[in-house]
Structure 1
């Protein structure tokens, strides 16, 4: 471990999760692996080849730069879809690379037509429609304009997708709103079909919707959090267990994260520990210094709350989380030495620190905790 901490990605867990998801959706539905936000903090360059080995041949990202990273990390020329940001300067190169991309505004459609014409290439587009999330997408009037433009320029466009995004399928409180969205999507889909346009993929479902709304999987599902071994929410997992009449979690966590003890210190009763007056030693205690902090993805909100595993014991983070260090109470650990393993996420013996432990304490979602993991943390695949 050359850096201050190490993340390990379990290739067998990846294969388990992809196999489970493929079995759930069936052979007629394409699985698009969502690897935006540096593969949810796992690392695009490390994880994408493992996903490809597990049978994934379709990836979705947010931005053009992520698409380039995925392309460089693969060997089998998979489909890569950009769901969000492409600058006007990068759009010609995106078209030349054969990247598919969402069209959520008429401005992007016009720009794509212009670039495709100049390049004598086809722009592979997914029309994203606004169905009630009010974030991005074409409304009904804009869709009619888009349809007319696409039909007038068949050599410039390949309609590979017709999609929308649902507003929170992981919570039952959103389901009435989602039903309204689905009705609107189907009406707009009918408008597209009546114009004689048949996209390769119709898609609306993320991980949660794939589980909760199986009839809405259509031709393709966009799977993010589940492939990494996490459920979108406790509600989603409960729904799965009840619908499938199973108890065990079929998903496996991919990521573990460890560091090492940097120093050990004895602190006397009545002494403050770390910055300010956030922790006062109520008795003589022993502390271990660990070289991770909020600069390396360990949130400051875990101050006086976080837990790590050292030598088979669950130990408390005490005082404020620093930029590059945390202080851990190891009074009850019989022997602690410099360079001992510190598990931040993962298992040590019979004990485990889960990502949910972070989110429960810090009020961050699993998604946030993972996405905040810096890209320069050392990573390895096993």
Structure 2
């Protein structure tokens, strides 16, 4: 294998512990959607369940089925498996699979719940558990508080095939301390929870927020507020942690106090091997369009990874602009020239003893997803989610 990701079970478990401690009396759903943010859901999901996760979050039905298969392959029987929340909606053709597998879908439309109720009859299952999402300001998924929600709640109350297991929303600015948007969203979510209580529809779970909601403790209130809101309808409070499980978290903006960001450890180490070595003389060009010209004799190493694998093209380097780097024998090896589709060239002139087949760290200790994100003008989420290689679970 020329390129692979090693996932640290120890670091993933420790990150989970840090986050659950920070969440306190609020339960935590561990998000493994988008292939566990590029870390390999089949690898990470069993680790998180063994660490104590009672809920996992996936993108869609296909991911939910794959995670269930991975849990069983890891020796976690179905009766021991956590709830699996399908977080990004469903279509009519998904409904029967959701019911058959016992997944818990996020819904916000009456049509979605009608499809599920019909599928339950076909599969001869009892009421289908759902989590109703409230749109409090994201304008993505969710039903708006007010007449639209009231109508939906009235329908749910009389629906025999649906059981409201949870009510949820998503904060748009949870990494911003004292965010006015979060304050508005909280008020709208309170209205929504009251609508369920007034209709005597009692969810088991009330949940909101993400990794930054756990990390942003400077507001002194979001988690406490969530616990109080859940208590209004006799429910359990829950927060959803995603990227922080894997060692990254957005910095808190404003007068916020970060709870765990500085203690998190990146879980992913992306490695490759040197597949070529060559000497170039001063004046020779390197890579596409000759944007890098050697100013002196150099020794270059060829790596079998590029933008098709997740190494962003923005990490390219010219004589006028430094780019990214890889770690070779524990030292920085700067990228030279343009990152190609499946190949990248690094400068190993000052690194002794580099040979064919040597392991190289593309992402990991010494070169993080935040380093790549800074150079690419994006966030660490996009970097790790863009990695497309094989996976191994390590220490």
Q: Confirm whether residue 214 of structure 1 aligns to residue 236 of structure 2.
A: no
Is this contact kept in 2: 1:46–1:381, CA < 8 A?
A: no
Residue of structure 2 aligned with 1:225, choices 243, 264, 271: 243
Equivalent residue for 1:8?
Answer: 6
In the TM superposition, what is the alpha-carbon distance from 1:157 to its structure 2 partner? 1.3
Is this contact kept in 1: 2:20–2:28, CA < 8 A?
A: yes
SS at structure 2 position matched to 1:358: helix
Is this contact kept in 2: 1:126–1:161, CA < 8 A?
A: yes
Residue of structure 1 aligned with 2:44, choices 44, 47, 53: 47
Across the two proteins, how many residue pairs are aligned to each other? Answer: 367
Equivalent residue for 2:19?
Answer: 21
Contiguous gaps of at least 5 residues in structure 2: 217-221, 228-236, 318-322
SS at structure 2 position matched to 1:256: strand
Distance in 2 between residues matched to 1:360 and 1:203, nearest whole Å: 32
Residue of structure 2 aligned with 1:297, choices 310, 318, 343: 310
Equivalent residue for 2:59?
Answer: 62
Is this contact kept in 1: 2:28–2:240, CA < 8 A?
A: yes
Equivalent residue for 2:268?
Answer: 255
Equivalent residue for 2:387?
Answer: 373
SS at structure 1 position matched to 2:293: coil
Residue of structure 2 aligned with 1:310, choices 316, 320, 328: 328
Distance in 2 between residues matched to 1:346 and 1:126, nearest whole Å: 36
Is this contact kept in 1: 2:91–2:112, CA < 8 A?
A: no
Q: Deviations over 1:167-197 (max 9, x none)?
A: 121134x811111111011011111101111
In the TM superposition, what is the alpha-carbon distance from 1:238 to its structure 2 partner? 8.1
Residue of structure 2 aligned with 1:268, choices 281, 285, 288: 281
Distance in 2 between residues matched to 1:201 and 1:237, nearest whole Å: 30
Contiguous gaps of at least 5 residues in structure 1: none
* Greater than 6 Å deviation, 4+ residue runs: none
Equivalent residue for 2:376?
Answer: 362
Distance in 1 between residues matched to 2:152 and 2:23, nearest whole Å: 31
Equivalent residue for 1:324?
Answer: 342
Equivalent positions of 1:158-197 (< 5 A) are 158-172=163-177, 175-197=179-201
Is this contact kept in 2: 1:291–1:325, CA < 8 A?
A: yes
SS at structure 2 position matched to 1:249: helix
SS at structure 2 position matched to 1:159: strand
Residue of structure 2 aligned with 1:111, choices 115, 124, 132: 115
In the TM superposition, what is the alpha-carbon distance from 1:141 to its structure 2 partner? 2.0
Is this contact kept in 1: 2:43–2:391, CA < 8 A?
A: no
SS at structure 2 position matched to 1:51: helix
Q: Deviations over 1:194-230 (max 9, x none)?
A: 1111100011121112232222443111110111111
Is this contact kept in 2: 1:204–1:216, CA < 8 A?
A: no
Is this contact kept in 1: 2:5–2:392, CA < 8 A?
A: yes
Equivalent residue for 2:208?
Answer: 204
In the TM superposition, what is the alpha-carbon distance from 1:379 to its structure 2 partner? 2.6
Is this contact kept in 1: 2:172–2:182, CA < 8 A?
A: yes
Is this contact kept in 2: 1:17–1:251, CA < 8 A?
A: yes
TM-score, normalised to structure 1, is 0.91
Is this contact kept in 2: 1:294–1:321, CA < 8 A?
A: yes
Equivalent residue for 1:340?
Answer: 358
Distance in 2 between residues matched to 1:258 and 1:238, nearest whole Å: 38
Distance in 1 between residues matched to 2:330 and 2:172, nearest whole Å: 42
Residue of structure 2 aligned with 1:126, choices 125, 131, 144: 131
